[in-house]
Structure 1
Amino acid sequence: MAGSSVSSVAVPFLAVVELNASTAEVAALVFLTQVPSLLFALPAGALADRHPKRPLMIGGDLVCLITLLSLPLAAALEALTFQQLMVVALVQASAGVVHDAAAIAYLPTLLDRSLLQKGNSRIGALFSVSATAGSSLGAVLVSVLGASRALIADAFSYAVSAWCTTRIRVTESTPPARARGARLRTDIAEGMRYVFRDTTLRTLTLTNSTTSFALGVLNTVWALYLLVPA
């Protein structure tokens, strides 16, 4: 989370200041980061139910690590383009969806059911602190190293995440044979019916969707507002 917050500062700076991105291009960049959540979140959740979650988490981290490192490398070779930035944003967001779906589903394997609320609360608190610290660190790194080199900090954070995940020594339970044999579409449909039958889950889903949409609009304009001279 801290590394991603560094990127949240460095990527807009890279796009607007160094690559001279227009308003439409920044909007397209933000849109691409939202598309994987729309298209892949449900399939990723179904996959996390069917397969071991730790390899999915490690794989997602490594994909993000490799794609992010391509940006400072291209910048060092003076070959960085806005199109590459868009591809990296799309791939990174897609890998992040898979990682997060597996991570959320992995927590009940690590904790007793009675401790899940406390575990989620602690994770949420750590995310808030890390996001704030990462944004501040991102501003410092961009000013000292430049936007492209600052992204190395985010790439390093994915390496740390993958290494830490390999050190988890909890054996996952094998999914039931019926779940492994069911069609992916069936699993997704069952999950959606379960969520929308429950009033609390339905309300949370709709609230989070609305908030994500609003944040997408905000993220489109804030970089231009802050970085483009009046």
Structure 2
Amino acid sequence: MTTTGPMISDRQPRLRDDPDFRRYWIARASSLTGSMVTALALPVLVYRLSGSPFLTALVTALEAAPYLLVGLFAGALADRWNRRRVMVSADLINAVLIGSVPLAYLAGVLTVAQVLVVGFVVQMVFTFFDGANFGALPVLVGRARIAQANAAVWTASSLIELFVPPLAALLLAVMNPADLLVIDALSFVASAIAVRGIVRMMSEQRTGQRPLRPKVVFADIAEGVRYLVRHAGVRTMTIIGSLQSFAGGGFMALMIVWCDRVLHVGTSGIRFGLVYGTWGIGGLIAALGLPRLLKRMPPAAVALYALPVSAVLGIVSPLMPNWELAAIALLVWGSAYVLVIVNAISYRQQVTPEHLLGRVNTAGRMLSWGVGWTGGSVIGGLLGSSVGIRSAMVLMGAGGVAAVLVAWTSPLRRIAAAHDPLHA
């Protein structure tokens, strides 16, 4: 099946010379910087307030749970609405929500319940941003450059993951984690300003749309899900993404407790920051390497070869006897893990028709991030409380083996052999 959609012309500037893409990149980098601070500060805040491994793991689960509730609706509505307006509105709403935590701390009324509720609602609002964002980028840059554009965004993300966690960890030694959330609130504002400044359209002209009614929304959702299920490549990439996210969610849900109780590097300081940040180095390697890999092999082959590496390192990493070896293992795992993710996202955006981009991508994201990551986080937290932190992390990491088995017995082998990423 071939896809339709906007392609770039020879006269279009390189991505780094494209002012609209630069604005988009700045928006994503700003938001990612704040989100990385929050990803570290929020579970540390809950851990310090409660001392509970389960509640700490619950923070990670709440990052993805909103996709289970509103993911499909967000994708369907994002395909109908103006994507720029959705993204700007979501950013501004989240700036207010995140900002409420340091204000409550300053007033002396902050509770664990508020932190968990804010974490959940922020991610629910972000689901609408994500639905619009998935559809906006292919329209903005053209499908031929989508892998390059995603690599540029993930390169920024990886650099942020490399430098921000150590800096945030150092700040946690002298500041309350609630105070650090001000950075995230400001980053949402910066992202909204940058997105608002994008000149080119991020949605194609909509004609002949049916009036927005509940029945119509459900029909739109069904159309997107049917495409995901019937397209062999998209379907398989989604399944393996869900299984890998299950393993990753369980691991990351326990990572702060692992650093504190197993590696004995605490929850602040340079050693903690280095362990937490080496994943970002791996992500940087993956983001820089993906465009080059895709010149040599199709996305299906990238997934087939990266998954076994990810599965092995998911089991090996928690068994490392000290923080130095743990950091090295996380670097390699991060490379393979992120390579699978960016490759799958780029493939979905490349082959999905424009009018289905929000629905198909949020459906895939719901299954991998919502079901896989949330389920892994909850089960990881429960296992951590019952069988111990290290044993729980090994068990969760073993979930990546299932992704390998699915991938190598799926249509991906046929698609890879065909060596054509636009057919399935």
Q: TM-score higher than 0.5 here?
A: yes
Per the alignment, residue 236 of structure 2 pairs with 203
Per the alignment, residue 216 of structure 1 pairs with 249
Shift of 1:228: 5.6
Q: Which amino acid aligns with 2:91?
A: D
Contact 2:43 2:60 in 1 (8 A): no
Per the alignment, residue 47 of structure 2 pairs with 16
Q: Distance in 1 between matches of 2:207 and 2:150?
A: 26
Residues 219 and 118 of structure 1, relative CA distance in 2, 3 Å threshold: closer
Contact 1:4 1:134 in 2 (8 A): no
Contact 2:59 2:119 in 1 (8 A): yes
| 1:147-186 matched pairs, under 5 angstroms | 147-171=177-201, 172-178=203-209, 183-186=216-219
Q: Distance in 1 between matches of 2:72 and 2:144?
A: 27
Structure 2 gaps of 5+ residues are 1-31, 265-424
Per the alignment, residue 75 of structure 2 pairs with 45
Q: Which amino acid aligns with 2:252?
A: N
Say which SS state the counterpart of residue 108 (structure 1) adopts: helix
Count of matched residue pairs = 229
Q: Distance in 1 between matches of 2:166 and 2:59?
A: 22
TM-score by length of 1: 0.91
Q: Distance in 2 between matches of 1:227 and 1:60?
A: 34
Q: Distance in 2 between matches of 1:38 and 1:77?
A: 33
Contact 1:7 1:138 in 2 (8 A): no
Shift of 1:141: 2.5
| 1:68-87 matched pairs, under 5 angstroms | 68-87=98-117
Per the alignment, residue 122 of structure 2 pairs with 92
TM-score by length of 2: 0.51
Say which SS state the counterpart of residue 183 (structure 1) adopts: helix
Contact 1:57 1:98 in 2 (8 A): yes
Shift of 1:89: 0.7
Per the alignment, residue 104 of structure 1 pairs with 134
Q: Distance in 2 between matches of 1:162 and 1:105?
A: 17
Q: Distance in 1 between matches of 2:143 and 2:62?
A: 36
- Greater Rg, structure 1 or structure 2? 2
Moved more, 168-177 or 41-50: 168-177
Shift of 1:47: 0.9
Give CA-to-partner distance per residue, 1:142-189, whole Å, 9 cap, x none: 223321111111111111101101111123433232365571111111
By relative contact order (CA 8 Å, sep 6+), the higher-ranking structure is 1
Say which SS state the counterpart of residue 177 (structure 1) adopts: coil
Say which SS state the counterpart of residue 50 (structure 2) adopts: coil
Q: Distance in 1 between matches of 2:193 and 2:109?
A: 31
Per the alignment, residue 130 of structure 1 pairs with 160
